[in-house]
Amino acid sequence: MGAGDMGERAMSKPEATGRDPIGRAGGSAPQGTGAPPAVPAPAGPAARVPRRLRRVYALADFEDAARRHLPKPLFGYVAAATETRASFRDNRAVFDEIQFLPRVLTDVSRRSQETTLFGRRWAQPFGIAPMGVTALTAYRGDLALAQAAAQANLVDIMSGSSLIRLEEVVQVAPNTWFQAYLPNEPQRIAALVDRVAKAGFGTLVVTVDTAVVQNRENNLRVGFKTPLQPSFRLLWEGLTHPAWVTSTFLRTLLVHGMPHFENNFAERGEPLVSRKVDRDFAGREHLDWGDIARIRRQWTGNLVLKGILRPQDAQIAREHGVDGIIVSNHGGRQLDGAVSPMRMLPAVKAVAGDMTVMIDSGFRRGTDILKALALGAQYVFIGRPFNYAAAIGGEAGVRHAIAMLSAEIRADMGLLGINGLDELGPDLLHLGGSLRREIDRAC
């Protein structure tokens, strides 16, 4: 998908970043190894946009297109949230409680979206959140996401539940971060961490909000379950979605064979059709802060915890030497009723000290991102829309999504009256009464 351009229109894109000091593509030194490189200006030759992306004007449009393109079980898995979807809904509703107080008559001709994380400069304040099995919704989906992010110079986090080997991804996109679901034994955790380090990743993200498997009711309702098993329903979904079957499923089987969960452990995991596959995602009930302490002693790169909501947990993370946290409720996919990360962001930021504070869950527009930055976040991650973009247009679809969101932020910054992200703060926001009280109480 995304390879055959039946019609094009011009769109600006960042220039290639060249090669880093050790000769790898990507345009930067490995994370944490020295001074950050210059970020290329968003100029250069025009990108070619496939015809199927011409009517995609915002991230939400990708979801509508993906609903038509993907078999119902696959789309339902990506779109799913647990139980009543209360957390999923509030992740969006919270943004309506935050309005802007824009400045006027300010010179906004020098706007820049550059930001710095762990000593490295990035071109945008947003990146791609980790998402599992994207190679099932898009052909070689993990590579499409990582390569588009590398070209645009923004962060991509590769999921531990991915179907492409982490070594293959980091080879083509050296600044990718790796997200791990910790195995169920200390020696297996150590072996996985060692594998990630040897592959060359500079940042390890440990997801900490998945101690047990969530209620899978919503997946079952749409017919998605692991292991994948042949059925009349799956046959019918294939027959009624031929574009996905030929461009993604059959192409993957013919070229690469049956997908496996490649990165849950130091060794290869189970194939999608294996009855043992659930074992890869169980047995984490006993994990505790002692596991984080052991990882911190072993891992010399940047260590990030994803899934923090309580300020008390952020403080414990800081005491354990964690470098950064991602305030997250897993996009509403874990504990239904978990508070929206935006509601807890100021309180978490207040105790974070020198840790880098990032956020995900529910972000869809440039204004959403600027609101989070004004409340103290240093970076924002977005998941589902980039999955949909890869499904619809491959790497070109992801590039298109990045370009649209970047254009939104640039326009929003001008209308807000700022030139740099460091000018954002609570003084540019008007908070609804209930949210103001929540934040004051939490802080």
pLDDT digits (tens, 9 = 90+) for 151-179: 999 999 999 999 999 999 999 999 999 99
Quick: pLDDT tens for 7-47: 333 333 333 333 332 233 333 333 333 334 433 334 333 45
Least confident of 56-70, 101-115, 425-439: 425-439
- Mean pLDDT of all residues in 310-317: 98
Is residue 192 situated within a structural domain?
Answer: yes
Question: Do the domain assignments include residue 233?
Answer: no
The total of other beta-carbon atoms located within 10 Å of residue 227's CB is: 13
Residue 19: phi and psi, rounded to 5, are: -130, 150
* φ and ψ at residue 37, rounded to 5 degrees: -80, 170
Where does the pLDDT of residue 238 fall: very low under 50, low under 70, confident under 90, or very high at 90 and above?
confident
**Within-domain flag for 25:** no
**What average pLDDT is seen over the chain?**
88
Query: What is the reported pTM?
Result: 0.88
pLDDT number for residue 213: 84
| pLDDT tens per residue, range 108-150 | 999 999 999 999 999 999 999 999 999 999 999 999 999 999 9
Convert the pLDDT of each residue in 266-294 to its tens digit.
999 888 877 776 656 666 888 999 999 99
Lowest mean pLDDT among 49-63, 92-106, 110-124: 49-63
DSSP annotation string for 152-166: HT--BEE-TT-SS-H
Q: Is residue 26 part of a domain?
A: no
Q: Does residue 306 belong to any structural domain of this protein?
A: yes
Q: Using CA atoms, how far apart are residues 51 and 9, in angstroms rounded to an integer?
A: 8
What is the DSSP pairing of strand 98-100 with strand 429-431? antiparallel
**Nearest Cα to 204, choosing from 284, 300, 274?**
300
Q: DSSP labels for 178-242?
A: EEE---SSHHHHHHHHHHHHHHT-SEEEEE-S-SSPPP-HHHHHHT--SS----HHHHHHHHH-H
Could you tell me the residue range of the domain that residue 99 belongs to?
Answer: 10-14+50-217+279-442
* One-letter amino acid for residue 105 of the chain: L
- What is the mean predicted confidence (pLDDT) over 284-311? 96
Q: In this structure, what DSSP letter does residue 379 have? A: E
Give the distance, in angstroms, between the CA of residue 211 and the centroid of all CA atoms in the same chain: 20
Angstrom distance (rounded) from CA 145 to CA 394: 8
What CATH number does residue 292 fall under?
A: 3.20.20.70
Given pLDDT bands bounded at 50, 70 and 90, which one contains residue 230?
A: low
Catalytic residue among 241, 330, 400, 430: 330
Going by C-alpha positions, the residue among 332, 326, 320 that lies closest to residue 305 is 326
Residue 227 in any domain: the answer is no
| Residue 308 one-letter amino acid | I
Domain count, the chain: 1
Radius of gyration of the chain (CA): 21
144 in any annotated domain:
yes
Q: How far apart are CA 31 and CA 39, in angstroms?
A: 14
Position 315 in a domain: yes
Is 256 labeled as catalytic in the residue annotation? Answer: no
| Residue 228: per-residue pLDDT | 72
pLDDT at 36: 40
Q: Which residue bears the tokens 């043992």?
A: 276
